[in-house]
Amino acid sequence: MEARLNVFGSALAPKLVKYLVSADKVVTDSTLPPAVLELVKIRASQINGCGGCLDMHTKEAAAAGESVLRLSLIAAWRDTNVFTEAERAALALTEAGTRLADGGGVGDEVWADAAKHFDEHELLALTAQIAIINAFNRLNVITRQVGGDYAVGAHA
């Protein structure tokens, strides 16, 4: 597969990415556990088919100590016993928030379950993380950015 655009060869890309990364930094600095943030990024990227983001976030999660088992089971999280109840609630919210076009939006049950595990500040951060990774996914998928060459820490 070949990229449709050289996104980083554009004068617009650094400006655009700067603001998305700044928004992501606000979320990263919240009280949400880093593991939850990476699970959200990976699950949304799986749903959206974003190879670039999957490449980055699986490598970053592994470098931060996430196990191969958990990384391998994210797509099938409902059928596993390796995620905490809070992580499962975050993954459910991620799926609902990523699949808005499938109809139904984010159901009250999904939101209520997340609210059992996260306070209002964390729920806002979690919601923002879902929105931010979906924005990155869409930019990468639409322009066919290729995954596979990411080096851990490259975008730190």
pLDDT in tens, 80-112: 999 999 999 999 999 999 999 998 899 999 999
Q: Using 50, 70 and 90 to split pLDDT, how confident is the model at 115?
A: very high
Residue 29: DSSP 8-state: T
Which domains are assigned to the chain? Answer: 33-142 (1.20.1290.10)
In the chain, the amino acid numbered 74 is I
Distance in angstroms (rounded) separating the CA atoms of residues 57 and 43: 10
Whether pLDDT at 11 is above 90: no
Question: Contact, 141 vs 132, CB < 8 A?
Answer: no
How many CB atoms within 10 Å of residue 39? 25
For the question of whether the overall pTM of this predicted structure is more than 0.85, the answer is yes
Among 14-18, 62-66, 111-115, 148-152, the minimum mean pLDDT is found in 148-152
Most confident of 1-5, 8-12, 97-101: 97-101
Helices 120-142 and 12-28: angle between axes, nearest 10 degrees: 150
